[in-house]
Chains A and B, each alone.
Chain A
Amino acid sequence: MRLSGAKIGRKYIVTDVRLPEELTRRLEVLGLTRGVGVSVMEMKKRGAMVIKFRNTRFAIGRQAADGIFVGGQNER
């Protein structure tokens, strides 16, 4: 599923990042790599969301959240 469809307060595992090259690289440098755990802290109805991975919070826009694919914590 896409991160933009995730639920607040849940933790997921990143399975894939399908975004423009530059954005993908920026996210990976920050540690949003395949297999990393990501928690959804807060999200707006149709807008940006706050996520936490590797113990750091980031606010990301909807476009980015749409391109990050996640699975449940157990389906790796």
Chain B
Amino acid sequence: MSDNINVAFIGNPNCGKTTLFNAYTGAKLKVANWPGVTVEKKEGISSFGGKQYKMVDLPGIYSLTSYTMEEKVSREYIMSGEADVVVDVGDVSALERNLYLTLQLIELGKPMVLALNMMDIAKERGMRINVKRLSELLQIPVVPVSARKRIGLKDVMEAVRCQTRKVQSVSAKNDFYSADISEKLEFMTAYFKQRYPETKNPQWYALKIMENDEKVMNEYPIDTAGILDVDYEKEIIREKYDFIEHVVSQVTEKKQERDDFTDRVDKVLTHRIFAIPIFLVIMAAVFFLTFTFGDFLKGGFEYALDFFSGLARTAMQSVGVNDVLISLTVDGIIAGVGGILTFLPNIIILFFALAILEDSGYMSRAAYIMDDIMRKMGLSGRAFIPMILGLGCSVPAIMASRTLENRRDRLRTILITPFMSCSARLPIYILFSSAFFGEYAMIAAYSMYLISIAVALLMAFLIGKASGTNENSTLLIELPDYKQPNGRTVFIYVWDKVKDYLTRAGTIIFVASIIMWFVMNFGMNGLTDNMSESFGAMLGHVLVPIFAPAGLGYWQIILALISGIAAKEVVVSSMSVLLGISNVSSAAGMADMSAVLGQMGFGTLNAYAFMVFCLLYVPCIATVATIGRETRSFKWAAFSVVMQLAVAWIAAVLIFQIGSLFIG
């Protein structure tokens, strides 16, 4: 055995597995994909009793069959020699269902520990579990734990340490089944052993062959004609549940079903009539918080930026730095990167709200609430979850579409998710709505979100129509108990996104700002003071005729839009570089901007068309790359780019042309 002990965490979705995992490893995680598949792999290190443990968080799954990617990945990892001990996290409040996975793990025969999570909540509800008896019946160590309150963490590790001394048991127990199935299993095991004498745990393979498991059948071809007349999978599932019912009846001392907290809340939140209005109010509240509270904090950042930018200029001038270099640093880098950083409070609040929606359990309710509308568009309510996550960032949102079983549903969801207004577009709305819409700024910005959802749904419908497949897979999603969001989980989630944002500011936006500064300050004759002679102006001018019908026929605007393909926030930093406004996101900067643009004939209607275009046009490079990766097809990534450009252009033209009739 290596020095590191590998511990695999496994459990049903919503069982608190990730909370427990985070409790051991903290925020220092290595996140990657499992080789060859688009399933996330999380690893962390924890030490206990002088030993290092490498912890692997397996995807949340309900069973260990080989029907989904997640199940395959988990099963293969556990069966490979890599995992030394398996920690099966089980939620006490849904013990029966959680034990199903436990039985399948027991059959795999790896050293394992059952961590019974949420014991505290169970106790509050008057439920008592006889842990000792459960352990006897299952013949595995069972440890009560509360991941949220961080109780019992050491006990789990203690049990894990004991288990590391064990070797894989050669044959797993099989007394879960009726005499009939047991007999057949015994026979199959002997038959399998004859054919593959070298295999460890032949009984497990025999069971999988009885279940007609695709993967095992392919890897271990065996002629079962005349031996297995039918597929026993359903039989085996049922008998496992029979056994579980027997176990649960013996270990739960007081079983009561009463109208619990979640049921009471759900009566309101999933109500036939009120559910959708409540959902809209919640989303509006998220937006309101992001916009106002974030703006309030933004003031401080702007002040700091102003101070810093002035300081940098004076400092460099005093030591006699070349003027070009000062301009690059102050007008290019500080204005560009700093301008983006001032939006950090808005971004933090948005992700904070999304984290709470996710961790509290509301997100899956949204899938149920929106199912009817989504079904009309040819998708299941489940596809709505990636869409909401798209309000944060398109990249993880597109990856979240992995939970959709149906491939066609998934592809369509991937294509429409970038229409959801991500946080990177927020700075654009804040800047332009505040600069042009005065007291109606918030309404103008909120309307972007409504347009965003409407366009995404419309495109889902149209793409479905075009591909001639508007039949969809039916909804099936667990609605977990509501719980108070866990501070640690929320913090890790938000920190992860903030880190991302800062990294982008330091890399892509940094480079884009320098490039923008360069194309704006250099022309055919080298360094130029007159921006309209620069390379940037030349490029912008070429495209003016195309953008003119949308009210965006200004080379500066076009250039800002092009730069936004790097990352959408860059549109904002480019505006400040382009218009030569040092602190564009401050009140004075915004006034300057609207004045400068106004002189060029760029008014309120143009600004609105601009915002809509920014909302809908090509997602950033990272998103295009993610689409390519997730669909494993360059074609779909290219299609999404062309489609979004077309949609954005059409929408902006419509708004500008129709709007001109009224305002004109």
Interface residues of chain A, those whose CB is within 8 Å of chain B, are 22-31, 33-34, 36, 41-48, 50, 54-64
Contact = CB atoms under 8 A, between A and B. Distances in A.
B371 A59 contact: yes
Contact of A42 (B267, B380, B474): B267
Contacts of A64: 474-476
A42 B95 CA distance: 23
Interface string B250-262: 0000000100001
B209 to A, nearest CB: 17
7 closest residue pairs by CB, A with B: A61-B474, A61-B475, A59-B368, A63-B474, A57-B479, A48-B371, A54-B96
Contacts, number: 102
Contacts of A33: 237-238, 241
B473 to A, nearest CB: 8
Interface in B347-393: 364-365, 367-368, 371-372, 375, 380-381
Given A29-B63, A31-B96, A57-B262, A50 B372 contact: no
A18 to B, nearest CB: 13
B263 A41 contact: yes
B270 A61 contact: no
B572 to A, nearest CB: 40
B100 A31 contact: yes
Interface string B455-477: 00000000000000000001111
Given A33-B241, A45-B272, A47-B375, A27 B476 contact: yes
A56 B375 CA distance: 24
Contacts of A26: 476
B62 A29 contact: yes
B474 A59 contact: no
Contacts of B238: 28, 33-34
Nearest to A45: B272
B124 interface: no
Given A33-B241, A47-B375, A61 B266 contact: no
B368 A48 contact: yes
A55 B266 contact: no
Given A31-B100, A44-B371, 12 more contacts: A25-B233, A29-B100, A42-B272, A44-B272, A48-B371, A48-B372, A50-B368, A54-B96, A58-B476, A59-B476, A59-B477, A64-B474
A61 B473 CA distance: 9
Question: Which residue, A23, A26, A42, A55, has most C-beta atoms of chain B within 10 A?
Answer: A55
A3 to B, nearest CB: 12
B403 interface: no
B271 interface: yes
13 contacts: A29-B100, A31-B96, A42-B266, A44-B371, A57-B480, A58-B479, A59-B367, A59-B368, A59-B479, A61-B371, A61-B380, A64-B474, A64-B475
Contact of A55 (B94, B233, B371, B479): B94
Contacts of B367: 59
B381 A48 contact: yes
Interface residues of B, number: 39
Contacts of B95: 55
A14 B480 CA distance: 22
A41 B365 CA distance: 13
Question: Which residue, B95, B367, B381, B474, has most C-beta atoms of chain A within 10 A?
Answer: B474
B271 to A, nearest CB: 7
B353 to A, nearest CB: 23
A36 B475 CA distance: 21
B100 A48 contact: no
A29 B237 contact: yes
Contacts of A61: 371, 375, 380-381, 474-476
Contacts of B257: 55
B241 A57 contact: no
Question: Which residue, A27, A60, A61, has most C-beta atoms of chain B within 10 A?
Answer: A61
B486 interface: no
Contacts of B241: 31, 33, 36
Contacts of A36: 241
A43 B480 CA distance: 17
Contacts of B94: 54-56
Contacts of A42: 266-267, 270-272
B439 interface: no
B201 interface: no
Question: Which residue, B364, B365, B372, has most C-beta atoms of chain A within 10 A?
Answer: B372
Contacts of B478: 30, 56-58
B234 interface: yes
Contacts of A34: 238
